[in-house]
Structure 1
Amino acid sequence: MMIGLSRGVLVASATVDVRFKFSNKPTTIETRRSPNQREIDSSRLVVESKSLNRRRSSSFTGRRYRVLILEEMGSMGMQEQFEEQRKPRILCLHGFRTSGEIMKKQIHKWPKSVMEKMDLVFLDGPFPAEGKSDVEGIFDPPYYEWFQFDKDFVEYRNLNKCLAYIEECIIKNGPIDGLMGFSQGAILSAALPGLQGKGMALLKVPKIKFLIIIGGAKFKSASLAEKAYSSPIDCPSLHFLGETDFLKPYGIKLMESFVNPVTIHHPKGHTVPRLDEKSLELMLSFLKSIQNKLSTGEPSYKEEERAAF
């Protein structure tokens, strides 16, 4: 017999039942063969429990789930579906010539009430910094960059290698639900849903479900912009705009490419800001909407991964 969890749903071989006992102690599991279930029966697992007249909470292997009792048609009786309360898993792309460790320090200025609602994965860019970093003397090296560009930001070097690297990291650290980017990482993050939709990037991984963009802008290359922003980007997005950020006008133009973007304004410049009361409310509301989206029975990571091929 095999028992496992897929996005919080308990699954097992079709020829056994699972019986749960609920108490103040951790949930225990018993298995038995159903008398009316044939070896070749391919119907769903029968799940029986005492006290099926109400919703209950339990603990399974140290992780919390919401227990929902569903009435099943026919002789299968009752089925119990577990929906895991997991946090959105977010891949974080740091700024130009900084690092994943530096971005972690920048983000951890945010309140615990925000941090505890995200599962963050911090990457280093694929290339060591080719020049001086603006954060020298503030944050310790090493420093990295995602790709290189000319002074007008219209020609890029190693961008395709960067996209392949991000895809590999998503596969390695998945399932990844969304992206959070700052500065160069924000420019890159904001372009990826459009490029993915056009079949130009991230072909081996599921669709990006949301973005958090801090100090972002568009790629200026006409050919790249055509692929990334030509169609409205229907991906939930939260954009941070700094009042004195030199990229603010470009960040506003970027937002015009998104469907119903959410905006957090702050009085600082090109930085990851602290959250004031209004910003905190917007941030928590956005994260709540993402959690609800992830909990509404969308295709599992593996199912989307198969569909991507």
Structure 2
Amino acid sequence: MTQQVGYGSTANNPTSLPSILCLHGGGTNSMIFNIQTIRLQRALSSKFNFVFLDGPFPGPPGPGVLPVFESCGPFLRWTRSPSDATLSEETRTLITNACEKTEFVGVMGFSQGAKLAAGLLLEQQVKGRKGFKFGVLLMGVSPPMVSGLSEEEKATRINVPSVVVLGKEDPWREEGRRLYDEFWEEGKASLLELGIGHRLPTLDFENSMIVDEILRLYSETREET
């Protein structure tokens, strides 16, 4: 599947900047997520490269995709069906291949992509692997997307420093709040609640809040290594 490099790499030498893995929402694709996050990328272009992956499964367009992105198909997701919450082998292979090519400092996901990002952080922790140092979860839902873990392992609270961004008008806000409340160790995740629905913010001050959190996470986790 397609791997796109985002705004940061067009303005800088990709090898000179740390990289963030970007995972789109269900029923979109890497190009759409690249566009949706362009304000964040512009603000962080001197700090990071943004690498966007495409999910392996085709599906209908997700919430809010039409009519704006009508010509931007095919629309893709990370699971075989919309109701599936399991990390598939196809998705795992895509993530593994990307991580073999690039050393990522962080993972950023939107909606279903945030659910996947949470699962990657949980599995990384349970299995004692080195990998992502921080997570950025935008309008995600519970539970994290995993496979092959015991019920006890699935209940492990994530200790990877992260920011969870929720929309006060998002119809899935409560599921997003559960992700924050039930799956992170206390003090390991910060919560941003914005006055928007199930989408990325467009106002400068709201984007600045997310940018500041990403910079804080990177600064704090870089100091720990």
- TM-score strictly above 0.5: yes
1:147 and 2:72 matched: no
User: Does the residue aligned with 1:252 lie in a helix, a strand or coil?
Assistant: helix
Give TM-score, length-normalised by structure 1: 0.58
Pick the aligned partner of 1:241 from 166, 190, 196: 166
User: Does the residue aligned with 1:177 lie in a helix, a strand or coil?
Assistant: strand
Partner of 2:137: 213
Unaligned runs of 5+ in 2: 1-11
Structure (1/2) with the larger strand percentage: 1
How far the C-alpha of 1:165 sits from its partner, in A, is 1.8
Partner of 1:137: 67
Structure (1/2) with the larger helix percentage: 2
Q: Structure 1, residues 219-275: CA drift from partner, whole Å, max 9, x if none?
A: 389986836641221101011110111121111111122132112211111011135
User: Percent of counterpart pairs with the same letter?
Assistant: 28
Aligned partners of 1:148 and 1:158 also within 8 Å = no
Give TM-score, length-normalised by structure 2: 0.77
1:186 and 2:109 matched: no
Partner of 2:195: 267
Partner of 2:105: 177
Aligned partners of 1:191 and 1:228 also within 8 Å = no
How far the C-alpha of 1:206 sits from its partner, in A, is 3.3
CA distance, structure 1, for counterparts of residue 190 and residue 144 of structure 2: 23
Aligned partners of 2:126 and 2:156 also within 8 Å = no
RMSD, aligned CA: 3.1
1:107 and 2:37 matched: yes
Matched ranges for 1:1-309 at <5 A: 87-110=17-40, 112-129=42-59, 131-134=60-63, 135-139=65-69, 140-149=72-81, 153=83, 155-156=84-85, 159-172=88-101, 174-199=102-127, 206-219=130-143, 226=151, 229-256=154-181, 257-259=183-185, 260=187, 261-277=189-205, 280-281=208-209, 283-295=211-223, 298=225
Query: What amino acid is aligned across from residue 138 of structure 2 in structure 1?
Result: I
Aligned partners of 1:114 and 1:284 also within 8 Å = no
User: Does the residue aligned with 1:180 lie in a helix, a strand or coil?
Assistant: strand
Q: Structure 1, residues 115-174: CA drift from partner, whole Å, max 9, x if none?
A: 433210011112222x34442321121221111236xx3x457713211221111112x1
- Give the number of aligned pairs: 206
Unaligned runs of 5+ in 1: 1-61, 64-83, 299-309
Higher Rg of the two aligned structures: 1
Q: Structure 1, residues 8-43: CA drift from partner, whole Å, max 9, x if none?
A: xxxxxxxxxxxxxxxxxxxxxxxxxxxxxxxxxxxx
